[in-house]
Amino acid sequence: MLKTTLAGLRAHKLRLLLTGLAITLGVGFIAGTFVLTDSMRAGVNEKFARSADKVDVAVLPKEGGELPADLLGRVRAVPGVTDAQGTVRGDAALIGRDGKAVGDMPTVGISVPSGRLLRYGVDEGRPPAGPAEAVLDRDTAEREKFAVGQTITVLDHRQRPHRFTLVGILDFGIDDEANMRGAVGFDTATAMRMTGKRVFREIDVAGAADRAAVAAVAGPDAEVLTGERLGRRLAARAGADTEVIRTGLLIFGLVSVLVSALVIYNTFAILIAQRMRETALLRCVGATRRQLFGGVLTESAVVGLIGSVLGLAVGLGLGAGALAVFGGPDADIPTYGLTLAPRTIAVGLLVGVLVTVLSALLPARAATRVSPVSALRADLEPGGGRFRLGWARWTVAALSGLPGLAVAWYGAMVLDKGESALFTVAAGGGLVFLAVIALMPALVRPLGRVAGAVPARLAGVPGRLAVQNARRSPRRTATTTIALTIGVGLMTMFAVLAASVKATADEQLAEEFPVDYQLTTQWGGSDEQFLPRELADRLRALPQVAAVTEMRHVEARVESSGRGDRRESVGALTASSLGTVVKPEFTSGSLEDLRPGTVAVADPVARYWKLRIGSTVRVRTPRGPLELKVVGTTGMEGPVPPLLVTEADFTRYFGARDPSVIFVNARSGAAGEGARAAVEAAAKPYPTVRVTSAAEIKKQYTKAIDMMLVIFGALLGLAILIALFGIANTLTLSVVERTRESALLRALGVTRRQLRRMLSVEALIMALIGAGTGVALGVAFGWASITAMAEDVVFSLPYARIAVFVLLAAAAGMLAAVLPARRAAKASVVEALVDD
């Protein structure tokens, strides 16, 4: 039986290729993911280990603290220490050629040592060696077009400009913060002066000093590591990014493998049906049911093994391509050549073979039911017949569909909005999808009639025949189309989520953020990153400006009964603008109740503190404790701080602080007639101040959402490609199966062109059934997901995008039918009608 199976595989090489190609693509995606992330991790490990080799002992603060400046002298006095350098780190904003601070966040000011303890790579020039010298990271220097020898301007911690000679360009590749924000390097004394820091983030030690001796000097508030252990810790911290990347990509890889399993199952089911006479003849010559079952599984294992090996090769190519795009020496996450780990090979082979064998179990079981007398039948081509769902499918549908709908409804409508509700909806969606798989054969005929109504009219007799062909084998069509349903359904769900998030944000922006311009400083830096008060006065004096709103905030300790205390942001807006220019949405209470001695609390903060209207919170201020009564809760959208108090209370207890944000409304008709230029001119003397409009803010998050949608679409594209290949595979095998039928049609007068049209329309109908089902599921669970995410969401259905999905699926389905249709049209009528 083994020889017979292997001989059959050798005799049908094209069939073997078609069967294994789906698993090749699925395994290729998973293997490519491992190759990409393993290569990144190897690069991280190599780069951090090479950097840490320069350090013998490192002293780090515990719990994110800082090391006192006098500790450096005590460490240097430890016997065996030949050198010790402290790392200073803080904000030091670089001024670009346009006179504005570079980036949305201030560049990091870092102390750069010289000698052995220099852990950064010097690409050009040399490290800084005096109070008038500085270095830049490579990316910032290239982006801003600064070269060694030029003069740069950097702001100190009090926003005062200082000029430096650029003496070097460094690679801060081991520093993720420097990579993200950009970095300006100084010698240690200059770094302290520029950042205002008088403490160290780390002390690196060179020499033969004993670690225990250094630890004794550092004290209990510090952690002392060897250089090797420091390298492993830094590499593990940076390598966490690769774990996130790997997890995300593997999710999409598993979707592709699931689609591949459906394609493999359908392919083997068709093959077993086509080989019914062959199987019956084997029974006649003595093959047992067990041998037949083992033969099919052996065939599937061989197909899975070949497909998996090819998948590993494809994965290696995908990984190399991804590294060429995202990796290389200039990447934030370095790479270290192409890494194909033994684990990747093992996982790829195991997944490919296991999925293929499991997918072939039911078709193999069906092969054992073929009786020897079947070999005597003259006509073994499958007919139509009446299809009925078996009790097993009804049971699966009932046990998964109804509970799935209940779970999804509970997550969307009952649970508190957030992550738990979203996961609950996802679980319900999985159960409903299982029910759809079980019921899909019963849905094929009515859906096929709907999907084929227009093509049948336009394509004439070939179109009507195509509709009947798609409807007469419900199980086969259902299994073929459900693979496409998965991909289109997920893409539709993401499209609905993206459109609804944008619509919700647009509505909230219009209601709660009705301003023309927003002025902010660079964010993410120290608490001293505020706007100068005189800027608001200059803006109010502009004739083009109608209203100026200032928002002030401060981080303060807040406590409530039974929950301890923690830091929260307490803020206020200009009294005359609150409720007129800025209109926060209250989920309970109202803005009219906000008076001195009261506070409005954001919903997440209220949930944490278990606050409701009438509750009391206590805020520690520089002028004593402040008791505040909760009079309302607000959403987190818009420019409202988590704890909103009156302007009078804020000034009384926290003093006259500079604003953190300024909102500007132009006079009627002036927004497009010089108001923007006037606002920017007023902000020009302040390098860190940025002017943005509401339209620009909207464009920023719209661009981010669209980018995520493109990424998801690209990742799900492989699953859709596999599904379309499944349609092509089904049609190809169906052409072989219906050879005599096609020849009879040709004999009755159907032309080759009409035969090709029939198969193209059949593929079109299958694609429309799969895409239509996917759209329905995607829209339903897109609504449930967006409802579970947050309160007061605006559901938006992206009609145009969904229509594009359906049209692309239809076009791709017809394209998948090209080769099978050509093969059917080329067959000889006489040879096909001969009974062999």
417-458 tens-digit pLDDT:
777 888 898 889 889 988 888 888 888 888 888 888 888 888
Question: Residue 162: enclosing H or E segment and its boundaries?
Answer: strand 161-171
Work out the percent of the chain whose per-residue pLDDT is above 70. Answer: 85
Q: Specify the pLDDT at position 9.
A: 55
Provide the pLDDT confidence category of residue 552 given band limits of 50, 70 and 90.
very high
Q: Specify the pLDDT at position 329.
A: 47
Provide the pLDDT confidence category of residue 829 given band limits of 50, 70 and 90.
low
What is the Cα–Cα distance from 664 to 643, expressed in whole angstroms? 23
Provide the pLDDT confidence category of residue 382 given band limits of 50, 70 and 90.
very low
- Within 8 A by CB and 6+ apart from 124, the residues are 148, 168, 169
- Within 8 A by CB and 6+ apart from 739, the residues are 827, 832
Structure tokens at 116: 């052995």
Tokens 């199952």 sit on residue: 265
What is the Cα–Cα distance from 639 to 523, expressed in whole angstroms? 15
Work out the percent of the chain whose per-residue pLDDT is above 90. Answer: 22
Q: Specify the pLDDT at position 772.
A: 92
User: Angle at Cα 771 formed by Cα 765 and Cα 775, nearest 5°?
Assistant: 140
* pLDDT tens-digit map of 574-633: 998 888 888 888 889 999 999 999 999 998 888 888 888 999 999 999 888 899 999 999
pLDDT at 381 > cutoff 60: no
What is the Cα–Cα distance from 236 to 226, expressed in whole angstroms? 15
Provide the pLDDT confidence category of residue 17 given band limits of 50, 70 and 90.
low
520 strand-pairing partners: 661, 690
Of 81-90, 93-102, 735-744, the range with the lowest mean pLDDT is 735-744
* pLDDT tens-digit map of 292-331: 788 778 878 888 888 889 888 888 887 787 777 655 544 5
- DSSP secondary-structure letter at 672? I
Of 159-173, 461-475, 485-499, 606-620, the range with the lowest mean pLDDT is 461-475
Which residue has better confidence, 743 or 769? 769
pLDDT at 249 > cutoff 80: no
Q: Specify the pLDDT at position 387.
A: 60
Structure tokens at 827: 């067959």
- Are the beta carbons of 658 and 530 closer than 8 angstroms? yes
Q: Specify the pLDDT at position 380.
A: 46
Q: Which of 382, 388, 393, 392 is nearest to 270 (CA)?
A: 382
Q: Where are the domains of the chain?
A: 53-237, 440-511+694-831, 532-685
Q: Specify the pLDDT at position 64.
A: 66
pLDDT at 697 > cutoff 70: yes
Which residue has better confidence, 34 or 91? 91
Question: Residue 678: enclosing H or E segment and its boundaries?
Answer: helix 676-683
Structure tokens at 555: 């981080």
pLDDT at 651 > cutoff 90: yes
> Would the CA dihedral through 696, 702, 705, 709 be positive or negative?
negative
- C-alpha of 523 from chain center: 24
746 strand-pairing partners: none
The rounded mean pLDDT for the chain is 82
Provide the pLDDT confidence category of residue 572 given band limits of 50, 70 and 90.
very high
SS (H, E, C) 260-285: HHHHHHHHHHHHHHHCHHHHHHHHHC
What is the Cα–Cα distance from 132 to 385, expressed in whole angstroms? 89
- Within 8 A by CB and 6+ apart from 137, the residues are 169, 170, 171, 172, 178, 179, 182, 183
What is the Cα–Cα distance from 397 to 439, expressed in whole angstroms? 7
pLDDT at 692 > cutoff 50: yes
Provide the pLDDT confidence category of residue 259 given band limits of 50, 70 and 90.
confident
Q: Which of 665, 643, 664, 510 is nearest to 583 (CA)?
A: 510
Cα separation values, 498 from 149, 469, 789, Å: 48, 38, 12
Provide the pLDDT confidence category of residue 637 given band limits of 50, 70 and 90.
low
Structure tokens at 623: 């002028």
pTM of the model: 0.72
